Amino acid sequence: MQRRDFLKAASAGALWAGCGGSSPEGPAAARKGAVVGEPRAAAAGLAMLEIGGNAVDAIVAAALTAGVTAVQMCGSGGYGGHMTLAFADSGKVTSIDFNTLSPAALTEDRFAPNADGTVPGQINQFGWLASGVPGTLAGMDLALREFGTKSFAQAVAPAIRHAQEGFPVDAALARSIASAKEQLLADPAAAALLCPNGKPLAEGDHYENPDLGAMLDELAKAGSTEPFYKGDIAEKIVAAFQSNGGIVTMEDFAAYEAKVVEPLKMQWRGDELFTAPLTAGGLTIFEALSILDAAGYPAMKAPLEQTHAWLEALRICWKDRLELFGDPQKSEDPTERLLSKAYAEESAARVRKAVEGGKPLDIEIDYLEQVGTIHLSAADGAGNMAALTLTHGGGFGARVAVPGLGLLLGHGMSRFDPRPGHPNSPGPRKRPLHNMCPTIVRRDGKPTLAVGARGGRRIPNCVLSVLLDYSREGSSVQQAVAAPRMHVEGGLAVGLDEPWEQAARDRLTEIGYTVSKASVAVASAVGLDPASGEWATAER
């Protein structure tokens, strides 16, 4: 038996989203490729495939559109947790880092917390000190120039149309606006956008952002994002920072660059896995896989034994993550040590001891919670794949907007640990740690799965779950996404999602965990159906 034996029956059909496979578009769409994620964004990506674009063109068009249509989760004023790309013909796999960058004037003690861990005035969460230089537009521009086949103007066209024409507010957006209204109303430009006349937009209201559409149109005509970082648009953004007590300068904007970086790579049960490196969340996934491999996880027969090992490996990894990780350009990089055979075996011994003794490991951890993000996955007819995660941070990010641009700003500075002396403490021109981990699996030399998730700190555990199930012989992308998930961040509190049977909940409680039903991150995946040779999509 495997951990799947704890899974309740679920309808695979209900898990399909986006375009491709057996979707309404049918086999023709599947042969051309697939895109999954926010519905309007996925449609924009599919349209790019229809005109001959590759997976990179498709995912960039989808991301730019999501920045308009999923305004509470991401946008041109936000940042990303990397884009991971795999190309079928050349065998190349690469990653693009477009994380936010802190201003040069940010000091280590700027957000020094109170004794209870809270930051005075929540200035790292909301307002003009909470935002750094946005990275999303630079990342999309770089992806197109290096790996795409279409122009920035073509890729941004759907986003411009949605911004100018608008769309009905759905229930999720209405709830997000209502929950954020206190801070949104405190900022005139944000209030005008989302709370016109002092009243939050409600479900069914019409939302539009013509100022953002005009800004994106200016970039389309320029053929690049340079005006956003070094031109007149940058001047308007910086002027808003300066007039509202922010510390971001023109020099900070001009210094920003997205980067092509080497992804992390590992072998797992015959597959090649590629994920985004620090400051992204992929290292946590690979560390957990390394420990589980050393602990003999694949050979474990009892579902409870597998589940207990899985849980303890995650607890070890989260302690490492929250204590050791930071910008590898500014602090010690623990990647090599944490992925070493010696560390895996040392940690695996602890995991086996916990499983054999039927008790949790003694791990203490201190952390602050985080939420947010959106994920997109894409594939094209040539077999290329792309996985991309981007965010504002939490809902509407810093909850401020640049007047005249309709540009909501992410709160990337909230992703620093506010305590001085930590590897992820604030600092000048520094990229904060985040949880996003766009991942690609290559099987028999060909890309077969692109996956990532939205849901803040729940993301790494979610993607790990999908990868564990996908590695089973004969598992499809739908089965992997349907598999049960858990969330833990190092302590004894364990959240199990709906597919888990009550028997699993009871057994883990007996062992000593505090178990609750919990929502987990939402995975968005594109995978190759081995039977049909077509792309299938799944989201849950």
* Residues classed as catalytic: 373
Q: Give the burial string for 239-264 (b: 16+ CB within 10 Å, else e).
A: ebbeebebbbbbebbeebebeeeebb
CA nearest to 140, candidates 218, 103, 93, 85 = 85
Task: Tell me the C-alpha distance between 63 and 85, whole Å.
Answer: 14
- Contact residues for 268 (Cβ-Cβ < 8 A; gap 6+): 289, 293, 467, 471
Note whether 450 and 377 are within 8 A (CB).
yes
Kindly report each contact of residues 312-315 with a partner whose C-beta sits within 8 Å and lies 24 or more positions away, as own/partner. Answer: 312/350, 312/351, 312/354, 312/355, 312/360, 312/361, 313/288, 313/347, 313/351, 314/288, 314/461, 314/464, 314/486, 314/488, 315/360, 315/361, 315/363, 315/488, 315/490, 315/491
Task: Tell me the C-alpha distance between 256 and 25, whole Å.
Answer: 40
CA nearest to 425, candidates 320, 331, 337 = 331
Dihedral sign for Cα 533, 534, 539, 540, please. negative
Percentage helix, strand, coil for the chain under 3-state DSSP, each rounded to 5: 40, 15, 40
